[in-house]
A and B are shown apart, each in its own frame.
Chain A
Amino acid sequence: MRSGRIELGDVTPHNIKQLRKLNSVIFPVSYNDKFYKDVLEVGELAKLAFYNDTVVGAVCCRVDHIDNTRRLYIMTLGCLAPYRKLGIGTVMVEHVLKICEKDGNFDNIYLHVQVSNEVAIEFYQKFDFEIIDTKKQYYKRIDPADAYVLQKTIRTRKS
């Protein structure tokens, strides 16, 4: 396979509609306006993936504080069908991991995956994500509605 150029770029008010378009094609879930408003505020946590100068994927994260832990939640990470298996997803995950490393203050990274999505589960397992939980009826309008919670531990807190 001839290699293409993979680059990450910022999400800005100018190209936010690209992100909307991507997500509407890639994910069976639709995201509300607040999602896109927030995405504009998170800086490096939201990125568009360019392949040969065309937007083909995106990753959006946010920071969660739960029970004294600081966690990075990957809200969406995906790529258009014809561009899978080209290493674009890996570039995006590595970008997220690097943020955690640089920040140094995250306990873990986690995300939800539809239980039927084997490709995705396998993909994240490559990066040492583990299934730690199953959320029953997590999705509202899609079948199966259950989701796994995948998590990668960054550091273990000393008690």
Chain B
Amino acid sequence: MLLYQNMIIRESGKMKDALDHLITHEHQIPDKLAVTELKACINLELDNLKEARKYYWELLDRNPENVGYYQQLEKSIQPKDTQERMKIYRTMAEKFPRAQCPKRLPLNFLTGSEFAEKLDRYMRPAIRKGVPPLFVNLRSLYDNKEKLKSIEDIVLQYEKCLLERSCFDETESMKESPTVLLWTRCYLAQHYDIVGNTKLALEYIDKALEHTPTLIEAYMIKARIYKHGGNIVQAAFWMDEARSLDTADRYVNSKCAKYQMRANEIAKAERTCGLFTREGSLASENLNEMQCMWFQSECGRAYKRLGNYGEALKKCHEMEKHFEEITEDQFDFHSYCLRKMTLCAYVRLLRLEDSLRGHHFYFTVAKLAIECYLDLYDKPLSDGNKDSLASTDNLSEKDLKKKKSKQRRAAKKAEIQEKGKDSKDVNQKNEGSEENKLDADTLAKVEDPLSEAVKFLKPLQTFCSDNIETHLQAFEIYYRKDKLLLMLQSVKRAVKVNPTHAKLHECLVKLNKKVTSSQNLEESVVEVMKTEMKPLFGGLDLLDFNNEFLNKHKFSLPHQLAGAAMMYLLEPSKQSEAISIATSLGEDMNERTIECKRALLLPLLL
């Protein structure tokens, strides 16, 4: 209660009052940690640096692994240079020799030989101990090219010495255990994977597996390398291998299911998940009840890739329902929280509910749903023939067969599911009628896909407005609805988020083209479009605008692709030139990721 009172004082901006209030009532508040944290934070806010410092040291004595405390402490000390900054961590490291934070955090700001030395001291014990997430811990340093090189050098040196004399370096006399070489190789595999050298990464992981074929982590790394290399089927295979070596590990099990889903092996993935869900009920059904959203969104995406829009949309609506349920669940808390007087928690809950649909999962599902609806709008399903003709043409016969059999399987699954539902209906008649709403076929044969899409779009615009995808999706919807002003609104919002986004360029060009080719527009609309579009295009005509875009982003593959696609859109006669731009894959291109290489296919099919 007192903490709640304090929270209100703080949020009204009266920091000084809050501090006094806190000190007066300190002895009445049982949550000592919260009191110290607040005192530290308020003092920092009030620029009482000395006081703040004292409390943060106190907090660090309680928990030397809290990264936030270190950051705040630094703010209160305001170290002048790296040496002073280092002093904080040296003090902590001496006080708590086992704590990781004082060893890891300096790596963020140290450079050169100091960095190398500290890195060496950080890595050796971790490799010795076999800390699987060592790579993940260091991953954030890879943004710095110099540090990346430094890490690579050190670990390569380790491997060399370990092979020669089982030690980290020439001077050591104590021999290391064999697991050290193993983990060193695992690290190198992950290192080369992230650097993009798939071949070398595979070489190292295979060496590691030859050394110790029972290391589950190594199989997972191998799977990940294949995933990053774009071979998702192999990735799923190796993840399944990892899973089979310890079938009691839920984490690996989930990973495996996810990889299988990515490889469009939906039935397999459901079977994998089934190993951990309640027995006697269908895995997908059980996971729906459990609101297991990562599974459902992956599943939905897999269905969409397979062209099974009905099932994909079904997953989307199931997830949308979860969010509704979560919102409804909060009603229980109104009376509960007030009765228990847990007001701080109550306010946190209310705030969470306010922005619930800003959650990452909601974004994923809404995006998926919108994409499905857009595709359905572009290529409506005809009865009895679920394969859209366009995609059928491009599939080889074998692929087609595979696809058909997959669809058959999916259909069979759906049938089983249907049956499961029937039996459930007997038990719970009320729920039955609701379940019927989510019939895959009905969902796919939606009357007006665009307005359905807008339903998913609205929460995104409210809660995910800082994500450019929101506005790009909005544009795609309104583009198809011929809503010029709304298109303009989306584009302008997107420009605010990231004016150089490749896809945004496509939107701009399409918008411009649509405006110029539209007839019978209202006077006022034309006026608005004219004034608003001028700054967006810098007064250039559309062709110049596109050419300049291509020139400006010469070394970015996504931008080149977007530019090429637009070139073709503007001047169909230039198809071959567009294709040559899209397919020229210079060594100096940035972001030569797999996704981009896949995207290459699209303009080719124009």
User: What's the Cα separation between A14 and B130 when bound, in Å?
Assistant: 22
B580: interface (CB < 8 Å) = no
Cβ–Cβ < 8 Å partners of A83 in chain B: 178, 212
Q: Chain B: interface residue count, which band? A: 20 to 34
| A3, A15, A86: the one within 8 Å of B246 (CB) | A15
User: What's the Cα separation between A112 and B562 when bound, in Å?
Assistant: 70
- Decide: B130 and A54 in contact? CB cutoff 8 A: yes
User: What's the Cα separation between A13 and B175 when bound, in Å?
Assistant: 36
User: What's the Cα separation between A21 and B246 when bound, in Å?
Assistant: 12
- Decide: B247 and A13 in contact? CB cutoff 8 A: yes
- Decide: A82 and B211 in contact? CB cutoff 8 A: yes
Cβ–Cβ < 8 Å partners of A4 in chain B: 177, 179
Cβ–Cβ < 8 Å partners of A18 in chain B: 214, 245-246
User: What's the Cα separation between A56 and B166 when bound, in Å?
Assistant: 18
User: What's the Cα separation between A2 and B248 when bound, in Å?
Assistant: 31
User: What's the Cα separation between A53 and B182 when bound, in Å?
Assistant: 13
B244: interface (CB < 8 Å) = yes
The residue on A at minimum CB distance from B175 is A1
| B130, B213, B246: the one within 8 Å of A52 (CB) | B130
- Decide: B181 and A82 in contact? CB cutoff 8 A: yes
B126: interface (CB < 8 Å) = no
B176: interface (CB < 8 Å) = yes
Shortest Cβ gap from B151 to chain A (Å): 23
Question: Which of B166, B178, B244 gathers most chain A CB within 10 Å?
Answer: B178
Q: A56-B212, A80-B212, A82-B212 are in contact. Are A51 and B244 (CB under 8 A)?
A: no
User: What's the Cα separation between A74 and B176 when bound, in Å?
Assistant: 31
Which residues from 99 to 115 on chain A have a C-beta closer than 8 Å to any C-beta of chain B? none
- Decide: A52 and B214 in contact? CB cutoff 8 A: no
Cβ–Cβ < 8 Å partners of B215 in chain A: 54
Shortest Cβ gap from A72 to chain B (Å): 26
Cβ–Cβ < 8 Å partners of A82 in chain B: 178, 181-182, 211-212
Contact with B along A1-29 (1 / 0, CB 8 A): 11110000000111101100110010000
The residue on B at minimum CB distance from A81 is B211
B85: interface (CB < 8 Å) = no
Shortest Cβ gap from B248 to chain A (Å): 4
Cβ–Cβ < 8 Å partners of B244 in chain A: 17
Q: A54-B179, A82-B212 are in contact. Are A14 and B128 (CB under 8 A)?
A: no
User: What's the Cα separation between A54 and B177 when bound, in Å?
Assistant: 12
| A2, A17, A25: the one within 8 Å of B177 (CB) | A2
User: What's the Cα separation between A3 and B177 when bound, in Å?
Assistant: 7
Shortest Cβ gap from B88 to chain A (Å): 31
User: What's the Cα separation between A51 and B129 when bound, in Å?
Assistant: 11
| B128, B174, B179, B245: the one within 8 Å of A51 (CB) | B179
Which residues from 206 to 264 on chain B have a C-beta closer than 8 Å to any C-beta of chain A? 211-215, 244-248
Cβ–Cβ < 8 Å partners of A54 in chain B: 130, 179, 182, 212, 214-215
- Decide: A80 and B214 in contact? CB cutoff 8 A: yes
- Decide: A53 and B211 in contact? CB cutoff 8 A: no
User: What's the Cα separation between A22 and B214 when bound, in Å?
Assistant: 7
Shortest Cβ gap from A157 to chain B (Å): 41
- Decide: B177 and A52 in contact? CB cutoff 8 A: yes
User: What's the Cα separation between A152 and B211 when bound, in Å?
Assistant: 33
- Decide: A1 and B174 in contact? CB cutoff 8 A: yes
Shortest Cβ gap from A88 to chain B (Å): 11
Shortest Cβ gap from B261 to chain A (Å): 23
Shortest Cβ gap from B418 to chain A (Å): 33
Q: A17-B244, A82-B212 are in contact. Are A2 and B175 (CB under 8 A)?
A: yes
Q: A52-B130, A86-B177 are in contact. Are A17 and B245 (CB under 8 A)?
A: yes
Shortest Cβ gap from B394 to chain A (Å): 40
Shortest Cβ gap from A48 to chain B (Å): 9
A77: interface (CB < 8 Å) = no
Question: Which of A2, A21, A51 gathers most chain B CB within 10 Å?
Answer: A2
User: What's the Cα separation between A14 and B276 when bound, in Å?
Assistant: 13
The residue on B at minimum CB distance from A26 is B213
Which residues from 52 to 86 on chain A have a C-beta closer than 8 Å to any C-beta of chain B? 52-56, 80, 82-83, 86
- Decide: B247 and A2 in contact? CB cutoff 8 A: no
Cβ–Cβ < 8 Å partners of B213 in chain A: 21-22, 25, 80
User: What's the Cα separation between A80 and B218 when bound, in Å?
Assistant: 16
Cβ–Cβ < 8 Å partners of A17 in chain B: 244-245, 247
Cβ–Cβ < 8 Å partners of A21 in chain B: 213-214, 245
The residue on B at minimum CB distance from A14 is B248
Cβ–Cβ < 8 Å partners of A86 in chain B: 177-178
Cβ–Cβ < 8 Å partners of B212 in chain A: 54, 56, 80, 82-83
Shortest Cβ gap from A101 to chain B (Å): 30
- Decide: B130 and A1 in contact? CB cutoff 8 A: no
Cβ–Cβ < 8 Å partners of A13 in chain B: 247
Contact with A along B159-188 (1 / 0, CB 8 A): 000000010000000111111011000000
- Decide: B176 and A2 in contact? CB cutoff 8 A: yes
User: What's the Cα separation between A136 and B211 when bound, in Å?
Assistant: 34
User: What's the Cα separation between A3 and B180 when bound, in Å?
Assistant: 12
Q: A22-B214, A56-B212, A82-B181 are in contact. Are A2 and B174 (CB under 8 A)?
A: yes
- Decide: B245 and A52 in contact? CB cutoff 8 A: no
Which residues from 101 to 132 on chain A have a C-beta closer than 8 Å to any C-beta of chain B? none
Top-7 shortest CB links A-B: A14-B248, A82-B178, A55-B214, A4-B177, A1-B175, A14-B247, A52-B179
18 contacts between A and B (CB under 8 A): A2-B174, A2-B176, A12-B248, A14-B248, A15-B245, A17-B244, A18-B214, A18-B246, A22-B214, A25-B213, A51-B178, A51-B179, A52-B177, A52-B179, A53-B130, A54-B212, A80-B213, A86-B177
